[in-house]
Amino acid sequence: MPDILRLDNVSRRFGGLLALREVTVGVQRGEVLGLIGPNGAGKTTLVNVVTGVTPATSGKVLFVDQDITRVKSYQAARLGLARTFQVVQPFAEMSTLDNIAAAAAFSQPGTSLLVAREAAREHLDFVGLESQAEQPAATLTLAMRKRLELAKALAMRPRLLFLDEVNAGLNSAEVERATHLIQEIAAGGITIVMIEHLMKVVLNVCTRIVVLHNGVLIADGAPRDVIKDNAVVEAYLGHQYARQHGHG
């Protein structure tokens, strides 16, 4: 099956810092790919490169066989690439519903506000925020804002969805709920790439894992294999994790 997304020798430089070094990786249609690694490894930079926030310094990005290396963010969104942000910043004064409607209208030019709001209501119900529809987004709890962020991304009708730390700051019940939502989104046919620090979530949800360290791809494979990889244990998981999971 051809990759829905492919990065070929992608590098991103910020002044003297090489944040991504010749990363080559494919994402298959319909998979849930975990993108893991230590802080500063280049995970969010990789998402930014694909979604047009900070284009690659060199290399090529292909999405559904189209060269998107130099596209702008709004063009990437309209092609079917959506993302959530690690730091959730909704339009605070707008209602929860209108935050989602705005995302729907933005990604599909020519959509009437009525149609956008109808679509928004469906996504609101899906993430379980229907009773908060008319509340200003500023009044939502962190867990609710994270679900709003997910609904906004889904309202853009993505073919590929990047999730950046959707579980950060959530308690275990909230993480479980978020995990269930991610599984439902994947079951609906949307390809997912998720940056995630909670290994329990990664192992429960992801069909494959890639590991970045200092901007370099150091592992790519089935979750159970990757967590036994010595380079991954050294760079990220640590020997204590490996011992606890019988790999030390």
CATH of the domain at 69: 3.40.50.300
**How many distinct structural domains can be found in the chain?**
2
Confidence label for 247 from pLDDT (cuts 50, 70 and 90): low
Confidence label for 243 from pLDDT (cuts 50, 70 and 90): confident
Q: Is the pLDDT of residue 62 over 90?
A: yes
Mean pLDDT, range 85-104, rounded to an integer: 89
Q: Is the pLDDT of residue 31 over 90?
A: yes
- Same domain assignment for residues 54 and 95: no
H-helix segments, 5-133: 43-50, 73-79, 96-107, 113-126
- Tens of pLDDT along 165-186? 999 888 999 999 999 999 999 9
Q: Which domain holds residue 94?
A: 90-154
Mean pLDDT, range 82-111, rounded to an integer: 88
- Same domain assignment for residues 139 and 238: no
- Which residue would you say has higher pLDDT here, 95 or 88? 95
- Same domain assignment for residues 48 and 110: no
